[in-house]
Amino acid sequence: MQFLTIDRAAAQDATASGNFGGQVWMQQLVSEQQCSEIELLVVSFEAGGRTRPHVHPVDQILHITAGRGIVADHAGRRVVTAGDVVVVPAGEWHWHGAAPDSAMTHISIKRYGATDWTVEERDWGTYA
């Protein structure tokens, strides 16, 4: 059994990866060696920060732990707040991040698998 601590000081700046717009910090809670089945990430978005559109080959669960944000899919955008849980089915085009005027943190829970960041951006660029 492991007990984990969310620690903003342990988060890495994820902005330079090119997979995000705005300022984003990421903390990997467990390594693949510690937990071979599940990827567990804490992702903190500064106001307006967000992922680029992407698709996962596996289901993803987002647990919003702080702030207010947006989760978008082909059907549109939805506001999420602390306490909300979003289930993104495998293969679904989506993006997520902070609202323009609020920071947001979520825990991402999914099986390991390569994320496809090469998908169509659609209306992502109009987000403000």
pLDDT of 5-55, one tens digit each?
888 888 999 998 999 999 999 999 888 888 889 999 999 999 999 999 999
Tell me what pLDDT residue 20 has.
Answer: 95
The answer to whether position 122 is within a domain reads: no
52 in any annotated domain: yes
pTM of the complete model: 0.91
CATH number for 78: 2.60.120.10
Which amino acid, 93? W
pLDDT of 66-104, one tens digit each? 999 999 999 999 999 999 999 999 999 999 999 999 999
Our count of domains for the chain comes to: 1
Across the range 118-123, mean pLDDT stands at: 84
Q: Which residues pair with residue 55 across a beta bridge?
A: 116
Residue at 24 is within a domain: yes
